[in-house]
Amino acid sequence: MRSYSLIAPAKINLYLEILGDRPDGYHELAMILQSIELADEIEVRAIGTDTILIHCDHPQVPSDSSNLAYRAVELMAKEFPDVFAKFGGVEITIKKHIPVAAGLAGGSANAAAVLVAVDMMWQLGLTQPELQDLAAQLGSDVPFCLAGGTALATGRGEQLNALSALDSLYVVLAKDRNLMISTPWAYKAYRSEFGHTYVRDTQSLESRAHRVHSGPMVNAIRHKDGSQIGRLLHNDLEKVVLPTTPQVAQLREAFQSSGALGTMMSGSGPTVFALCESEAHAQQVQQKVRGMIANPNVDFWVTRFSNRGIQVVSSVS
Ligand code: ATP
């Protein structure tokens, strides 16, 4: 029976600006997304029956049809029913290294890996745009997780513009293991407080997104200027999360005085990250912040930028 092993990297947001509302209920965003080397390991195996089985070693990850990896197979089965009938179901094993509900797109990365594996397993030969299209149906972050690297994402986050690769920076991540923030809650809270600032017409939306594309952060990325990137980190969702979640605010403050190039919350949090110029610098920043934070529930990770999305490590037929 065929099986595939894949690596599914997490992402951080170097920039997240909320521009306005969309008719579909999502927000219009302008984000700069960055893959990091912290990644889940995914194994996808063909099984003779027409079932979808999920195994995961993390207690907060569901193994039923609410798992995004399950939904990725379901979508492929719906799109290609004859091929599904011919090849049968799949068994997916997820080894979680990406913290769950952390603003690091762990579930989206798993779904992207499953799309790649099923495409190979069912010998579909889908093009990158076709895979991206399926990815967008599963979630706003899934297309980026598939492609990886550094990208400007607009629309609800699914329209990607690749930016020049940035793979030399290091990242320290910190997260309270007992804390989870619901992404829908964060966006709803932002809408109720800042909805009056939203851009309403298409032309203004386009010009705001264009402003980000031709703005200082993209310029700093083009010049691989780590100090400038650190200074320009931005996330609108901090405006609603920091005042209501003291654990996140404390981590942000500690990283601020740690000598890092810059610090920011990723996505809707609660993970906070700090940018560093080398592994030694990252270890130093981590030690400093560990010393400043009394909360024993905070976990730390040191990782680095990656210029890759989903990677196939091995395939066995
Ligand atoms: P994003 O940054 O895209 O908002 P996130 O990192 O905040 O995502 P995830 O780790 O993807 O969040 O998990 C969000 C929720 O989805 C969790 O409550 C989890 O139970 C559920 N979930 C479903 N499938 C998965 C999966 N494969 N891996 C992790 N969580 C999953």
- Give the Cα separation of 248 and 271 in Å (integer): 8
Mean pLDDT of 254-274: 97
Query: Is the Cβ atom of 102 under 6 angstroms away from ligand 1?
Result: yes
Token pair of 245 as six digits: 């979640």
pLDDT at position 191 over 90: yes
Portion of the chain with pLDDT greater than 90, in percent: 87
Please say if 57 is a catalytic residue: no
pLDDT tens figures, 306-317: 999 999 999 898
For 194, list phi and psi in degrees, rounded to 5. -120, 10
Q: Check if 21 is active-site.
A: no
What order of strands is seen across the sheet that includes strand 298-304?
262-265, 272-276, 170-176, 298-304
**Nearest CA owner, ligand 1 atom 9:** 101
Q: Ligand 1 within 6 A of 106 CB? A: yes
Cα 182 to ligand 1 centre (Å)? 10
Give the residue carrying structure tokens 């997916």.
92
Rounded to whole angstroms, the Cα distance separating 120 from 223 reads 37
167, pLDDT greater than 80: no
> What is the predicted pLDDT for the residue at 48?
81
Could you report the per-residue pLDDT of 203-257, keeping only the tens digit for each? 888 888 889 888 999 999 999 999 999 999 999 999 999 999 999 999 999 999 9
- Expressed in angstroms and rounded, the spacing between residue 220 Cα and the centre of ligand 1 is 31
Mean pLDDT over the full length of the chain = 95
Q: What is the pLDDT of residue 19?
A: 95
What percent of the chain is modeled with pLDDT above 70?
Answer: 100
The answer, yes or no, to whether residue 88 has pLDDT greater than 90, is no
User: pLDDT value at position 23?
Assistant: 86
Q: How far is the CA of 109 from the centre of ligand 1 (A)?
A: 9
